[in-house]
Each structure stands twice: as structure tokens, then as C-alpha cells.
């Protein structure tokens, strides 16, 4: 179908929606921004690829997000029921559930991997990063500590366990996103402003990973094994381990911050660390298989020589490896 | 007032201008009546259509027109059967759980090797296949069966009859189809075949010279996509020698309920629900011996999709 609006208009409205949400004075303005964001993101998903998969993903995304938006506005209306603002716990529960559905936090996360599976890499990047900003900011206003803690811990654990036997790259990113959201909301409960730093570093790592998968045209890990170029494999794995939170890499910094913040909630911290250990286990197993499984006949291996791509990816990888030193001085 | 029984024209009291206006109105009225009458005639004639009209906004049942009222067992029997199945399903779930944590997924698929998915050489293997022909749905006279042949391999054989049934409900007839059951996870959850690591479907068959249709059903989530089928012809030689057909996934084209779609897109290899072979088109006996159905990964195969989509103006290409 010929559509007359270029993708720039959709991007503009996606940005506008989030900015309206963040900067509105009333709850109604916030909801309006969420809706604008949703409505503009859906044509972005459909237009990029004329594929059954992306259409199905777009329909699923629309249904889930529309339901969540309806719950948001319903929750907002219940705030005014008892003649006072922000006093009712039930209203906060409603809002939290709706916003967790929007974010893709457990136990409302089942749509997230399937939807991410059907998107192009740019849209996947937007869904993983930008689309999370407005719900997280609203969640930080309507926080109900004990309830959100349950959701956060279950996100971290479920994200880790579900990611164990996945071969698709996008699904791995989806489950790691669910897991990281658990960490972010736990920090939100303990300290109200440092979750933004965690989120920013997570955005950076996601961006690097999505860019590398896009340039290397990777959708499944089995494709990585038949790649001859060791440096490309190395780049992907450094970034993936950084996502998992392995110490000298950039991805460890937000977890380090979280450990400082959650010093007094040791039980929660233990559960979160164990869940990230599970994801790290899977990434290292993948790493091991990729570097050690050898394909015998070298004639069949596809060789790609693109210097520009390699330069960009290498600089980003360097940032991923060495970034922790300057950033830890700023943040910690 | 015109007295009764007089022979004066009913409109004698009207002027000539009035008469012409009346004449025009009458003519318009007559035209309208004739239009309505011919419309009614057409409607009556159109009732005798030969294809099933679809006036539905959404499809409630997967079986659609072919759904049948099935007998239900008494409640107590259903509960007892359910408990037995529950025990089996819990066992399957335990295995799944254990495999998830102890076993690795298949990362490396060796290029050039064929991984067999279906080895059709025993009765147990044949139980996973469903054979349907015209006769089963009162659609015609064709019949077919899948049995173990003389050489220990599965044989799909029968006769096709392309004469449509006499009640005029169908315009074309004559098919026989074999389809494998959809993979199921524990507790009867629907699964998919995940063939994303492969590039070709490989079949070792011995046919009778007919062209069969190889179908890969990839049932979608929503009712519009329930009947999505990717197909490609399986050409057979008919000789006494076995043939190995290697068909790449990129060659399969999208069709739904037998109609090839205008908007084509490549097959999603990790969302395949079943594989099937159809014999149709030409009346007469058919016989297809199948040894195995397998998958191969060819790293040199770089075709993503064999059919180009040109940008057409709106509403031309059915989208």
C-alpha cells in the first residue's frame, strides 16, 4: 500500500508523544502522550518491512498497548474517587500494572519477545530504548514500594530463566531487557534518581548491540558460528557479555551502582545478582560454542570485507571495554 | 368532483402543464418499479450461486466450513481420561523443564548434511500423518491412503476424480492430501517447527510422474492468517529410481485457502506448523513413495525470496 508520509513524520510523533508525557502537568496530558507515541510507532513497524511477521507483531503490540492505555486512564480516574490525590493504594496498583504491561515487565511480559522478533533492527532499538522512557518516568511517580518490588524481582528472575535456551538474537535481547527492567525498578524503589543512569547505560549497550547485529545481518546465533572473521565474533561477544554485566566491561557499571544503592536490602540484591548470573551463564556458553565449534570446510564460509562498518563497530566496542573507567569516576 | 360511472378521463380536470409533469412522474415511477423488479429477479437468480459466500467479520472456528458436530463422551469418562492425560502431560512438562536447564540448543548445523525430520518407515511414524481426500468431506469421489509399502517405506496412494459433486456447491474437485500433526508442547500447547537454521527441504521420494504440491503450513496467530500456506510443486520422475528433491525455503509462495496471495512475503522458518503433500489436478490413480523428509543447510544459498514485489498503486495488487 502506498503511504504518503515518510518515516520522519512517525519518528517526530514518537518523540513528541514521549516529550508530552514527560512534561505534562496533568495525568490526562501524560496519557495523551502515551497514546500519540503508540499510534505513531505502529506505522513505523508496519512500513519498514512488508512481511507477515512484522504485521503480526504490529497487531499484537497495538492490542496489548491499547489495553494498557485503557487501564492507565481507568487507573487515573480512580485517583479522584476518594476526594484526594495519591492516597489510594488500589489506584497505584492499577497504574503500576498498566505501566508494567506497557514496559514489558513480568508477569506481563509475554508479548515482548514475540513482538521484538518481528521488527527491523531500527524499530527493535526504538522499542528497547525509547518506548520505555515514558512508562518508567510515570512509574517513578506512582510508586507503591512493596508491590513494585514483587514485580521487579519476578522480572529479573523470569527474564533470566526464559532466556536460557534461546537461539534467536532478538529474543535474547528481549529477555535481557525484561531482566534489566527488574533492576531499574528496584533502584527506583530504593533511590529516586539514579535509575536514570542505569537506564542510560543500558540504552548505550542496547544501541551498540543492535547496531552490530544490524551491520553483521545476524538473526540467529548459528549464523555467528559460520562467520570466518574472528574479530566480528569477538565484538559481538564483548558487547553481549557487557549486556550480561560481566565485570571489567561497561555493563557492570550500572549493576555496581545498584549494589551500592541496595546495600541495605541484601535479600533483594542476592536474588537479583543470582538472576544476572544465570544470564551470564547462558552468554558464556554461547561464547564457548561459537569460538570452539569449528566448521571443517573453509570454502563455504562467507567473507565480508567492509572497512567502514568495522571501524564503527570497533570504536563502539572500545567504548564498551574501556568505558567503565571514566564513567565510574562520574557516577560513583 | 367527477361523478361516478362517467366516462371522463380521470385527469381531464388537469391542465396541460400539470399533465406533462404527471407524465414525467409516472414515467419515473415506472422506471423505479422496473429497476426494483429486475433487482429482485437478479437477487433470486443469484441465490443459485456455486461458491460459498463469506459474510463473516471474523472466523470463530479454525475448521470454518468443515467443522462437524462430534459426539461427546459422558462427563465421568472425560474426567477419568483427563486425569490419565494429566499424568502423561506432567511427565512431558518435567522433561521439557529438565532439558531446558541441562541441554544446549542446536547451535551448529553442518553444511551439506541432511537432518531427517520424518523417517517414514514404521507404523508409529505414519500415525503422525493425517490423510484427507475429497470423499471424507463429501466434496467428491477421490480417495487416498498412507500405508507402508512393499519396501518398508510409506506410500501415499489412491485415485483422484475431478468431477465436481452433483449438488452444485463446488466448481472444482479432486484432491488428496497428507499432512503431519502440529507439534505440541506439554499440556497440549501449540508448538512450531523451528527450522530457522536450515535453507532447504529435502525429500527422498519415488513418484509416478505427477506433480504434487509440497505445503508448509504456517498458521498465524490471528484468524485472517490461520490458513496461510506456503507451497511449491514437487515434480516427480516416475521412474524405478528414487529421487532426492531439494527445495529451498526461498522458493515457497504464499497462498491462503487455495488462493495465491497478491502480496507475497518469505516463509518464516521458525513458525512452521505442519508439512504436507497434496495430489490434485488430474483424474486417475496416484502413488507416491516417501522415504524421508529432511532439512539441509547450504551456506552458498543466498536467495532470500524468489518472488519480487513491485510497488503498485493502491488497490491494484489486492492490498
Q: Which of A103, A324, A320, A325 is nearest to A205 (CA)?
A: A320
Instruction: Kindly determine whether residue A52 and residue B101, on different chains, have CB atoms separated by under 8 Å.
Output: no
Q: Among B299, B307, B309, B319, pick the best mutation site for testing chain A contact (most A Cβ within 10 A).
A: B299
Other CB atoms within a 10 A radius of the CB of residue B281 amount to: 15
Q: Distance between CA atoms of B134 and B164, rounded to whole angstroms?
A: 10
Instruction: Kindly determine whether residue B319 and residue A295, on different chains, have CB atoms separated by under 8 Å.
Output: no
Q: Distance between CA atoms of B319 and B301, rounded to whole angstroms?
A: 30
pLDDT (tens place) for every residue of chain A, 332 residues total: 445 567 788 999 999 999 999 999 999 999 999 999 999 999 999 887 778 889 999 999 999 999 999 999 999 888 877 666 556 788 889 899 999 999 999 899 999 999 999 999 999 999 999 999 999 999 998 888 788 999 999 999 999 999 988 889 999 999 999 999 999 999 999 877 899 999 999 999 999 999 999 988 888 888 888 777 788 888 899 999 999 999 889 999 999 999 988 888 899 999 999 999 999 998 988 888 888 876 655 555 555 667 788 888 888 888 888 888 888 888 77
**pLDDT of res. A2:** 44
Secondary structure of A50-70 in HEC code, one letter for each residue: CCHHHHHHHHHHHHHHHHHHH
Average pLDDT in the B205-230 region? 94
Q: Which of A213, A201, A234 is nearest to A323 (CA)?
A: A201
Average pLDDT in the B120-126 region? 94
| Chain A contact set for B311 (CB, 8 A) | 2
Confidence of residue B4 (pLDDT cuts 50, 70, 90): very low
Q: Distance between CA atoms of A120 and A110, rounded to whole angstroms?
A: 19
Instruction: Kindly determine whether residue B110 and residue A295, on different chains, have CB atoms separated by under 8 Å.
Output: yes
B219 touches chain A (CB under 8 A): no
Reported as a single tens digit per residue, the pLDDT across B243-272 is 999 999 999 999 998 888 888 999 999 999
% pLDDT > 70, chain B: 85
Cβ–Cβ < 8 Å for A94, A31 = no
Name the grid cell of B39: 433487482
B299 touches chain A (CB under 8 A): yes
**pLDDT surpassing 60 at residue B292:** yes
Instruction: Kindly determine whether residue B196 and residue A166, on different chains, have CB atoms separated by under 8 Å.
Output: no
Q: Which of residues 229-268 of B touch A (CB under 8 A)?
A: 254, 263, 265-266, 268
Instruction: Kindly determine whether residue A165 and residue B314, on different chains, have CB atoms separated by under 8 Å.
Output: no
Alpha helices in chain B (DSSP H): 16-46, 75-102, 123-126
Instruction: Indicate whether this model's pTM tops 0.90.
Output: no
Instruction: Kindly determine whether residue A2 and residue B313, on different chains, have CB atoms separated by under 8 Å.
Output: yes
**pLDDT of res. A35:** 96
**pLDDT surpassing 60 at residue B1:** no
Contacts of A178 (CB under 8 A, 6+ apart): A104, A105, A106, A109, A112, A155, A158, A159, A162
Strand B253-256 and strand B228-235: the pairing is antiparallel
Helices and strands per DSSP (H, E), number in chain A: 16, 0
| Chain A contact set for B313 (CB, 8 A) | 2
**pLDDT surpassing 50 at residue B141:** yes
| Chain B contact set for A293 (CB, 8 A) | 107-108
Reported as a single tens digit per residue, the pLDDT across B12-69 is 565 556 656 666 777 777 777 767 766 666 555 555 555 566 678 888 888 887 888 8
| Chain B contact set for A51 (CB, 8 A) | 265-266
Instruction: Kindly determine whether residue B319 and residue A59, on different chains, have CB atoms separated by under 8 Å.
Output: no
SS3 breakdown of chain A: % helix, strand, coil, rounded to 5? 75, 0, 25
| Chain B contact set for A222 (CB, 8 A) | 106-109, 196-197
Q: Among B96, B99, B105, pick the best mutation site for testing chain A contact (most A Cβ within 10 A).
A: B105
User: CA of A170 to nearest chain B CA: how many angstroms apart?
Assistant: 13
Instruction: Kindly determine whether residue B107 and residue A286, on different chains, have CB atoms separated by under 8 Å.
Output: yes
- CA distance to A170, A313, B7, B45, per residue, from A288 (Å): 20, 22, 112, 72
Distance of CA A12 to the CA centre of its chain: 21
| Sequence spans of domains, chain A | 92-297+304-329
**pLDDT of res. A223:** 82
Q: Distance between CA atoms of B218 and B66, rounded to whole angstroms?
A: 19
Name the grid cell of B113: 548434511
**pLDDT of res. B6:** 46
**pLDDT of res. A173:** 95
Q: Which of B53, B114, B82, B91 is nearest to B292 (CA)?
A: B114
**pLDDT of res. B309:** 78
Other CB atoms within a 10 A radius of the CB of residue A273 amount to: 16
- CA distance to B128, B146, B279, per residue, from B123 (Å): 9, 10, 22
Instruction: Kindly determine whether residue A52 and residue B311, on different chains, have CB atoms separated by under 8 Å.
Output: no
**pLDDT of res. B65:** 79
Instruction: Kindly determine whether residue B196 and residue A220, on different chains, have CB atoms separated by under 8 Å.
Output: yes
Strand B211-217 and strand B228-235: the pairing is antiparallel
Confidence of residue B7 (pLDDT cuts 50, 70, 90): very low
B126 touches chain A (CB under 8 A): no
Contacts of A111 (CB under 8 A, 6+ apart): A60, A61, A64, A104
Q: Residue A293: which of B103, B107, B313 has the nearest Cβ?
A: B107
- As for the ipTM of the complex, it is 0.85
% pLDDT > 90, chain B: 55
Q: Residue B265: which of A52, A226, A295 has the nearest Cβ?
A: A52
Q: Among A2, A50, A52, pick the best mutation site for testing chain B contact (most B Cβ within 10 A).
A: A52
Average pLDDT, chain B: 86
Count of A-B CB contacts under 8 Å: 73
Q: Distance between CA atoms of B62 and A303, rounded to whole angstroms?
A: 46
| Chain A contact set for B111 (CB, 8 A) | 226, 295, 297, 300
Amino acid at each position: 500500500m502506498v503511504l504518503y508520509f515518510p518515516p520522519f513524520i512517525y519518528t517526530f510523533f514518537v518523540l513528541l508523544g514521549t516529550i508530552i508525557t514527560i512534561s505534562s502537568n496533568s495525568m490526562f496530558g501524560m496519557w495523551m502522550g502515551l497514546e500519540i507515541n503508540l499510534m505513531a510507532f505502529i506505522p513505523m513497524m508496519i512500513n519498514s518491512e512488508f512481511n507477515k511477521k512484522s504485521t503480526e507483531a504490529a497487531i499484537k503490540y497495538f492490542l496489548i498497548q491499547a489495553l494498557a492505555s485503557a487501564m492507565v486512564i481507568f487507573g487515573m480516574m480512580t485517583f479522584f474517587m476518594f476526594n484526594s490525590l495519591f492516597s489510594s493504594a488500589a489506584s497505584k496498583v492499577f497504574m503500576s500494572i498498566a505501566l508494567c504491561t506497557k514496559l514489558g515487565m513480568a508477569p506481563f511480559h509475554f508479548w515482548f519477545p514475540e513482538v521484538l522478533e518481528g521488527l527491523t533492527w531500527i524499530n527493535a532499538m526504538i522499542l528497547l530504548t525509547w518506548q520505555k522512557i515514558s512508562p518508567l518516568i510515570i512509574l517513578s511517580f506512582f510508586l507503591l514500594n512493596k508491590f513494585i518490588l514483587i514485580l521487579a524481582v519476578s522480572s529479573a528472575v523470569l527474564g533470566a530463566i526464559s532466556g536460557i535456551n534461546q537461539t534467536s538474537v532478538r529474543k535474547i535481547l528481549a529477555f535481557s531487557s525484561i531482566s534489566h527492567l527488574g533492576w531499574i525498578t528496584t533502584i527506583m524503589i530504593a533511590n529516586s534518581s539514579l535509575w536514570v543512569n542505569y537506564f542510560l547505560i543500558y540504552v548505550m549497550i542496547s544501541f551498540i548491540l543492535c547496531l552490530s547485529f544490524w551491520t553483521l545481518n545476524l538473526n540467529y546465533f548459528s549464523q555467528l558460528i559460520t562467520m570466518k572473521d574472528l574479530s566480528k565474533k569477538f565484538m559481538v561477544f564483548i558487547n553481549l557479555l557487557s549486556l550480561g554485566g560481566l565485570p571489567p566491561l561497561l555493563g557492570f557499571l550500572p549493576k555496581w551502582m545498584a549494589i551500592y544503592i541496595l546495600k541495605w536490602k541484601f535479600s533483594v540484591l542476592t536474588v537479583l545478582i543470582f538472576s544476572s548470573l544465570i544470564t551470564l551463564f547462558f552468554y558464556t556458553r554461547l561464547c564457548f560454542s561459537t569460538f570452539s565449534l569449528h566448521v571443517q570446510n573453509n570454502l563455504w564460509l562467507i567473507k565480508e570485507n567492509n572497512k567502514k562498518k568495522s571501524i564503527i563497530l570497533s570504536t563502539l566496542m572500545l567504548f564498551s571495554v574501556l568505558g567503565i573507567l571514566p564513567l565510574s569516576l562520574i557516577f560513583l | 368532483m367527477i361523478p361516478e360511472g362517467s366516462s371522463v378521463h380521470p385527469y381531464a380536470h388537469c391542465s396541460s402543464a400539470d399533465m406533462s409533469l404527471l407524465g414525467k412522474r409516472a414515467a419515473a415511477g415506472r422506471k423505479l418499479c422496473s429497476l426494483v423488479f429486475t433487482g429482485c429477479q437478479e437477487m433470486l437468480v443469484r441465490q443459485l450461486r456455486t461458491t460459498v459466500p463469506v459474510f463473516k467479520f471474523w472466523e470463530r472456528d479454525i475448521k470454518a466450513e468443515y467443522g462437524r458436530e462430534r459426539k461427546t463422551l459422558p462427563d465421568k469418562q472425560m474426567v477419568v481420561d483427563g486425569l490419565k492425560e494429566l499424568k502423561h502431560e506432567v511427565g512431558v512438562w518435567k522433561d521439557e523443564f529438565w532439558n531446558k536447564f541441562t541441554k544446549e540448543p542446536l547451535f551448529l548445523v553442518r553444511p551439506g548434511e541432511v537432518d531427517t525430520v520424518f523417517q517414514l518407515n514404521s507404523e508409529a511414524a505414519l500415525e503422525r500423518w493425517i490423510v484427507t481426500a475429497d470423499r471424507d468431506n463429501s466434496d467428491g469421489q477421490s480417495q487416498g491412503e498412507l500405508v507402508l509399502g512393499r519396501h518398508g517405506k510409506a506410500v501415499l496412494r489412491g485415485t483422484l476424480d475431478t468431477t465436481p459433486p452433483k449438488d452444485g456447491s463446488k466448481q472444482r474437485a479432486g484432491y488428496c492430501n497428507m499432512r503431519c500433526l502440529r507439534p505440541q508442547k506439554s499440556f497440549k500447547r501449540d508448538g512450531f517447527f523451528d527450522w530457522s537454521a536450515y535453507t532447504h527441504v529435502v525429500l527422498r521420494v519415488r513418484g509416478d510422474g505427477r506433480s504434487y504440491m509440497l505445503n508448509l503450513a504456517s498458521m498465524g496467530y490471528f484468524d485472517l492468517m490461520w490458513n496461510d500456506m506456503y507451497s511449491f510443486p514437487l515434480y516427480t520422475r516416475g521412474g524405478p529410481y528414487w529421487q532426492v528433491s531439494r527445495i529451498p525455503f526461498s522458493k515457497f509462495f504464499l497462498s491462503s485457502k487455495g488462493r495465491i496471495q497478491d502480496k507475497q512475503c518469505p516463509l518464516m522458518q521458525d513458525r512452521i506448523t505442519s508439512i504436507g503433500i497434496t495430489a490434485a489436478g488430474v483424474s486417475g490413480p496416484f502413488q507416491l513413495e516417501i522415504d524421508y523428509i529432511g532439512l539441509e543447510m547450504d551456506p552458498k544459498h543466498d536467495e532470500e525470496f524468489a518472488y519480487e514485489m513491485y510497488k503498485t498503486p493502491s488497490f491494484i495488487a489486492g492490498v
